[in-house]
Structure 1
Amino acid sequence: QYPGVADSIESDIDNIATLLRISGLIPSGIDLQPLLDDAKHQLKDETNYRKEARHQQTFAAALAGDARYLVPEIHADLGKKNVLAMSYVEGQAIETLGHLAQVTRNQIMAALFELMLRELFELRSMQTDPNFANYLYNADTQQIVLLDFGATRNFKAGFSAQYKKLVKAALDGDETGICNAAAKLGYAVGEQNTAYRALVTELFRTVLEPLKQQQSFDFANTDLPARLGKLGEHARAFRDFWQAPPADAVYLHRKVGGMFLLATRLQAQVNLRQLVSEWLD
């Protein structure tokens, strides 16, 4: 670990918060302090390599029976709070696999999406940093190598259960169910029969659209990001309704967004409906 990284977290986060307030990007009525405090705690955890080693060992044990994934072995006798030692594993950078056969790219992304769902609904513990550098692919063994568990976050049972209800409501076209689950998760959904609630409902419907398709979702041919961007522009008209999002949701969305970007990079086609249905039955 680079010297001084852990010691600078508090001041770095405070400086970012100051810039956000000065810029006017965040409405003055929004209380960001709980989110900022959580970010400081999360980043401090990421600099504690003993804690990261424990997370890595937990994931290695949980995935030991699934040959699609490989988690390097921790060498605890060589580690310290600022030193993380593990076995050397070879692999290609996962974002460089565009040359592989379509079926192989599909399988890789299906495995990663399946893992994300398992993290959310079963393990309730998620590696929330989707940086491409945290994944390798070993073509010889056809395994996805999982690296860097510093950003692992544990979710409460209620959080996972409400997200399951949110997804199910979206798949069923249940707008009331979408808003009820979203509100219990901590999102601002507005009053019934208002333009803001209609916008929030449309946002969730659009975000979860890939899960509704009976066929594979083609990440190389979708206008979903553009449509979400337009909805985001419409949301600017409702700045008075904005509030700091739930911290757990921020980290989950970070992971989901990263997986979407990777799937787009690999031009993958994945039947997400089939994957998520296993957790909703």
Structure 2
Amino acid sequence: MTTPARPPRTGKLARTAIAGLASTRVGMATLRHRLRGDDAQAGSPAATAARQAHEAEIGRILMGAMGQLRGTALKAAQVLSMDADFLPAGVRAELARSTHQAPALNRALVGKVFRQAFGCEPEALFSHFEPTAFAAASLGQVHRAVLPDGRAVAVKVQYPGIADTLETDLTLLRGTLNTVGHRLLTLPDSTVVDRILGEIRRQLLEEVDYEHEAEAQRWFAAHPLHADIVVPEVIASHSRRTVLTQALLHGHHVQAWCAQQPPADVRNRQGQALFDGLLHAALQLRRTHADLHPGNVLFLPDGRVGLLDFGCTQVLGRPFTHGLARLWTQWTARPRADAAALHGSYQALGLTSPSLGLDVFERELLPAVASVLDWATEPFTAARFDFAGKSLPPRVDAPRQAALVRHLQGMTAEMMSWDRAWLGLMHLLRQLGAEVDTRHANALLAQETA
């Protein structure tokens, strides 16, 4: 049984001390790395292994601090882990472990949230309310309950004080990355760091507002992504800014679902729904669910897929979807588009400065992004793609990481959300082992470039 947790430490002094200790530990780890001379033979297998071990150590230090802070700090760790162009691969891998690491709250704190939101205990609102959460994440936890009319529901309860820590946490994270990160981790300059953290701040402000999430969830329910994708109904009467009640879906997360060894045709049907549904949402509805980690997708026994947690969504403008479709079709075309065309697409998407010349783009940036583009567009290279053989996200070596830092301006809100969604989808479909027909998706890309 999970031990109930105390609420996160919301005091600025306590949270600053945790972040400060993490910065000190990162500095000491880097000093040890340099004193050992691990970089003396840059490019050698020994130096590469030492650098990867150093990145992992730094990632563990940062993850340890964010795990203590919990709440928005832990959620920020999840978002940062999804950006392949920002943090070194070893650091990202450790931060990615942040998913579902928050322990459950005790009964007294759950009651406090309900009294503040509704003026009463949960037992006064529901005919039955399970006091022990069945799911917990960085910002809240979920309880099973039954409405007075007999409908089974899932009730998401936000951890007390989470919203109040947001600004403090991002200030601490910004300070850590600016004073330690760009010197020791080869991160971008402070302007790019601020831009990325500003976008994380926007996402987190939305995610701690369950009324905003309920509105987004109702929008997706009214604009179906696919016939086999289910969005649970929001129960407005039992929802507030810190409590979200929705219809309970009975299904399994991807690992538990695959453990039951569902037939290949069922897995393929579900994978097809997710693949086509996300691209339909982005390229035709111009909005994306930006948090497709395994905890937010349920595989239902009837072959459909349940989509959860709409706290982080993003409206996608036509210039972005056109630019993305153009870049991906240029990359997968045979013969591949020339460097000048790819240079134009990167600039149109706002990923590079207008002052970045074609010669530098072709010589330095294009080799650095090639493996990332190969990985992202891999499913579109065949009429049917088997995700059981999907490659893992590429590990970008130190020279190419440095090129990304020098030449990429940082992510726009649209690109950051899309990258997060696409990475989550690729991981899900790989775990599911689904084989999908990509012809409809390729047609959508071609239509968007017209």
1:243 and 1:217 mapped to 2: Cα distance?
33
Consecutive unaligned residues in structure 2, runs of 5 or more? 1-157
Residue identity in the other structure for 2:284: E
Residue identity in the other structure for 2:342: I
Q: Does 1:220 align with 2:380?
A: no
Give the structure, 1 or 2, with the largest relative contact order (CA under 8 Å, sep 6 or more). 1
2:400 to 225, 229, 235: 235
1:243 and 1:197 mapped to 2: Cα distance?
12
Aligned to 2:228: 68
Aligned to 1:118: 280
Aligned to 1:174: 337
Residue identity in the other structure for 1:258: G
The alignment partner of 1:217 has SS state of strand
Residue identity over aligned pairs, in percent, reads 24
Q: Does 1:187 align with 2:187?
A: no
Aligned to 2:163: 6
1:95 to 243, 248, 255: 255
Q: Deviations over 1:168-215 (max 9, x none)?
A: 222322133332122111112842234114315624641344144234
- Counterpart contact for 1:178–1:201, Cα < 8 Å: no
Residue identity in the other structure for 2:337: D
Aligned to 2:428: 262
2:166 and 2:160 mapped to 1: Cα distance?
12
- Counterpart contact for 1:170–1:205, Cα < 8 Å: yes
Q: Deviations over 1:209-249 (max 9, x none)?
A: 41442342233224453xx32x4544134243343222321
1:199 to 367, 374, 395: 367
In the TM superposition, what is the alpha-carbon distance from 1:121 to its structure 2 partner? 0.8
| Structure number with bigger Rg | 2
- Counterpart contact for 1:93–1:133, Cα < 8 Å: yes
- Counterpart contact for 1:57–1:74, Cα < 8 Å: yes
- Counterpart contact for 1:90–1:138, Cα < 8 Å: yes
1:203 and 1:220 mapped to 2: Cα distance?
19
2:317 and 2:397 mapped to 1: Cα distance?
29
Q: Does 1:34 align with 2:195?
A: yes
Aligned to 1:48: 209
1:104 to 266, 283, 297: 266
- Counterpart contact for 1:171–1:211, Cα < 8 Å: no
Q: Does 1:276 align with 2:437?
A: no
The alignment partner of 1:153 has SS state of strand
2:214 and 2:391 mapped to 1: Cα distance?
40
- Return closer, same or farther for 1:89/1:237 CA change in 2, 3 Å cut-off: closer
1:81 to 241, 251, 255: 241
1:260 and 1:245 mapped to 2: Cα distance?
20
1:70 and 1:79 mapped to 2: Cα distance?
20
- Return closer, same or farther for 1:219/1:234 CA change in 2, 3 Å cut-off: farther
- Counterpart contact for 1:97–1:105, Cα < 8 Å: no
1:247 and 1:138 mapped to 2: Cα distance?
32
TM-score by length of 2: 0.57
Consecutive unaligned residues in structure 1, runs of 5 or more? none
Aligned to 2:174: 17
Residue identity in the other structure for 1:267: G
In the TM superposition, what is the alpha-carbon distance from 1:273 to its structure 2 partner? 4.7
- Counterpart contact for 1:125–1:154, Cα < 8 Å: yes
Matches within 5 A, 1:135-150: 135-139=297-301, 141-150=302-311
Bigger shift: residues 124-133 or 86-95 = 86-95
RMSD: 2.3
